[in-house]
Amino acid sequence: MADVVLGIETSCDETSAAVLVREGGQPELASLVILSQDVHRIFGGVVPELASRAHLTALDPVVARALSEAGVPIKAVDAVAVTAGPGLVGSLLVGVCYGKALAAVKGRDLVGVNHLEGHVFAVTLDDPYLEPPFVALLVSGGHTLLLDVAEWGHYRLLGETRDDAAGEAFDKVASMLQLGYPGGPEIERLARDGRDRFDFPRPMLTAGFDFSFSGLKTAVLYSVRASRNLAAEKADIAASFQAAVFDVLIAKATAAIEHTGYTTVVLAGGVACSKSLVTCAAQRLTGVARVAVAQPRLNADNAAMIARAGWFHLEQGHSNDLFLDANPRLPWPGLERPITSGKSPRLTP
């Protein structure tokens, strides 16, 4: 059984390493290093080739720093957990190849981790005794998923986005408003000074558990183009857009709680870094369900969540050989997808 796990995360534009250590009880985070690639701000989005090249330069010193901060020599590491997908294939390859080389040279166990499953495990780093069942709302730049988590390792997909992810919509709307990248924090900051006065749609609000944000994004575009004084209306547009996204996310989570009968909602993924979303969800779910969310550093892409998910799989006796490969569309282990009939159940508004 592993007592020290080194986690490696390079799925997109964050180079990260973390060390988890167990001394008798639950695994505890001994160190976490995250190196962000600011170069992508120039382009308003992640440039895959630049991301993978930056990982090549940064990964070795980032791992060395994580081990140093944890006070753990490499010889004390029992296993290496590395993100194998989903993500940008070039970025994933850097981490997977590094993790395989390290495991092979040092004779350590190796486990490939699904990045999305890692996001759900992130909350246990702040709340180690959190246990299923619960509803998980995973919202990031590339994914928006609603899950029935009956037990660790077994998940039932309730709904997912049919087009844009919520985080992607934030980035695109921020671009329309001539804000910086990533868009979520920029819109949240601007929305504090705005009013929810634009009548933006709440797509698929009562149509099952799936999401859609492309129509909302288009509605914002039309408002931006029609504005005679965008500088004066930016804050109100940001506030109205953010309110529309939050209404949809929280309505779906509430419906999932009612559907499952669970009493806990876990917010996960990069969008869960939004204090406004967490506050809004906690207020609206008061008396209905507890909202569990990790600190922002653990909800953003990071190696600690990868190490924690890898730790779980190692305890279950699962590991990988040196044929482990990067897979940008890596299936989520233990995820059960519903058999669709072509119609989505309607939810009570």
* pLDDT of amino acid 1: 60
Say if 4-123+299-336 and 132-293 have the same CATH topology. Answer: yes
Question: For the chain, how big is the Rg over CA atoms in Å?
Answer: 20
Inform me whether the pLDDT recorded for 340 exceeds 80: no
Question: What CA–CA distance (Å, rounded) separates 166 from 246?
Answer: 10
Q: Are strands 134-139 and 144-151 parallel, antiparallel or unpaired?
A: antiparallel
Domain boundaries, the chain: 4-123+299-336, 132-293
The span from the CA of 173 to the CA of 157, in Å, is: 28
pLDDT at 34 > cutoff 80? yes
Question: What is the per-residue pLDDT for 343?
Answer: 46
Residue 147's closest CA among 169, 121, 129, 168? 121
Q: How confident is the model at residue 37 (pLDDT cuts 50, 70, 90)?
A: confident
Q: Is the pLDDT of residue 49 over 90?
A: no
Is residue 109 within 8 Å of 79, Cβ to Cβ? yes
Q: Give the list of residues 6+ apart from residue 183 with CB closer than 8 angstroms, or none.
A: 170, 171, 172, 173, 174, 175
Q: How confident is the model at residue 188 (pLDDT cuts 50, 70, 90)?
A: very high
Residues recorded for the chain: 349
Q: CB–CB of 197/240 below 8 Å? A: yes
Q: What angle do CA 129, 147, 272 make, to 5 degrees?
A: 70
CATH number of 132-293: 3.30.420.40
Q: Cβ of 132: how many Cβ atoms within 10 Å?
A: 18
Mean pLDDT of 180-186: 90
Tell me, letter by letter, the H, E, C secondary structure of 336-349: ECCCCCCCCCECCC
Look at the domain 4-123+299-336 and name its fold. Nucleotidyltransferase; domain 5 (3.30.420)
Question: Which of 46-55, 79-88, 169-178, 331-340 bottoms out in mean pLDDT, i.e. has the lowest?
Answer: 331-340
As a dihedral over the C-alpha atoms of residue 56, residue 62, residue 68, residue 71, rounded to 10 degrees, the angle is -110
Per-residue confidence at 347, pLDDT binned at 50, 70, 90? low
